[in-house]
Structures are given as C-alpha cells and as structure tokens.
Amino acid sequence: MSRIGKLPVTVPSGVEVKTTPTSVTVKGPKGELKQTIDPDIKLEIDNGVLTVARPTDSKRHKALHGLYRSLINNMVTGVTQGYQLKQELVGVGYKASTDGQILDLTLGYSHHIYMEVPKEVKVKAETEKGKNPIITLESADKQLVGQVAAKIRSLRKPEPYKGKGIKFVNEQLRRKAGKSAGK
C-alpha cells in the first residue's frame, strides 16, 4: 500500500470538493482549482475526509495512487492558505519592478527583460536600501507558482564562484573556490 496514497485528505470547512469520474474541483476562499484524474482511481468523500483508492496493486495504479492524493492535498492547501515563493536577485545593478502582471528585470544584460506573469499568480517586487531586490510570487496553484519561479530563475541562474544570479530566499548555494585556492 502506498504510504502517501493511503493518507486521508482532510477537507476544512469553507472548502467545497466536487468529483466526477475524470476530474476533481476544489473551491475555497483563495480560488478554484481543477485537476483531471485517471478514471481508474476512485475518490470518496465522507464527513470532510477525502480518501483515494486504487483498483489493483499494479505498478501503474500504485504510482497514480500517491500522485493524485498529493495533487488533491496541494489543491486543498492552496485554496485555504495559498502558496508563496520568494526569490532574491544577487548582483550589482540587478533590479526588479512590477507594473500589474508585467515583471521588469535588469540582470546585467544589455537590455531589460519583461516577463508577463499569468493572472492567477500575484507578483510583487520590493527593494530596500542596502539589500537585494526580492520578488514575491503568490497563488493558490502550487504547480503554477513553481513553474513561474523556475522560469524567472532560468533567466540568470546563480553562478558558483560569486553567487550572482536569481536564487530562492534561504537557498544554500554550493560555492567553488577560485583559481588562487589551488596554490
């Protein structure tokens, strides 16, 4: 039995879960999320507790069992609490600003980078004097926040010698010694 798949998902009050044989919809105070599911996987809701069941012990069903339980749990957490990711721009002259859903980045290239963020994600850029600029992404959809954050990070990944680039707040980077370390 899948250790993750057999865990029940508690549905808090104020959250509405609707299931069909091929999809699940979770509606809460922070928004509404929809996920398609495999028709073999069965969902049962009883007294505010959602359980995921698989028909057989085949390798495919075992994999889907834990996957869909995790996805549904992330959806329930997203519509109640939401997800937030913070990224830090480390480097001289690196700047970030927002205009609605447009993120304007200056990352040491010869031009500004303008990135349109999906409307489901709230983006905020703040710069304090003497500190690195910080980009904050918030949404109910965990997958979408992670995807947008990965796209922003890919514009200038942190390099291992000085640590310049876009990194997550509290991320530990593996640093390398320079040329003089060998002598």
Which distant-in-sequence residues (6+ apart) come within 8 Å of 60 by Cβ?
none
Angle CA(25)–CA(30)–CA(35) in degrees, nearest 5?
A: 25
Average pLDDT over residues 120-144: 95
In order of their start, the domains of the chain are 9-80 (3.90.930.12), 83-168 (3.90.930.12)
What's the pTM value of the predicted model, to 2 decimals? Answer: 0.89
Residue 1: pLDDT over 60: no
Average pLDDT over residues 143-156: 96
Residue 80: pLDDT over 80: yes
Residue 180: pLDDT over 90: no
Nearest to 87 by CA among 136, 43, 30: 136
| Residue owning tokens 């939401």 | 82
